[in-house]
Amino acid sequence: MKKGINHLLVIGQLTSDMEISNFNVISDSKRKIELLGYKWIDVIGRRRTRELVDVRHCVYHYLYQNNWNYTRIAKEFNRNHASVLYAVRKVDSLVMHNKSFRNMYNQFIRT
């Protein structure tokens, strides 16, 4: 019986650690966005200006690279998971083929 209690404590600790890690990734994303001159509320909003879309896609990609799944990212941004999947894949392509996007993405990652 003690084994079950310890197991629950470990699961609780893992859940707590994951929540802290997730909070840190979101906080880091917000900081990076602000350093680029954008507001978090604009990035999670519905406006579709090219600049905001590009930053939003960078954030999706960053979160995905930090072990967030498409569904989780979609819920955070109130989007469909397929939209997030498309954006993450598109970032990879844009980084390879679009110099201005690559510069912005590298600036986002390095800040």
DSSP state at residue 45: S
pLDDT value of position 22: 75
Question: 62-107: per-residue pLDDT in tens?
Answer: 999 999 999 999 999 999 999 999 999 999 999 999 999 999 999 9
Indicate the average pLDDT of the chain: 86
Q: What angle do CA 54, 56, 57 make, to 5 degrees?
A: 65
Q: How confident is residue 17, by pLDDT bands cut at 50, 70 and 90?
A: low
Q: What gap in Å lies between CA 2 and CA 54, rounded to an integer?
A: 51
pLDDT of residue 40: 95
d(CA 3, CA 18): 22
Residue type, 13: Q
Residue (of 105, 85, 86) closest to 97 by Cα position: 105
Give the residue-averaged pLDDT of 23-48: 94
Nearest to 61 by CA among 98, 38, 93: 93
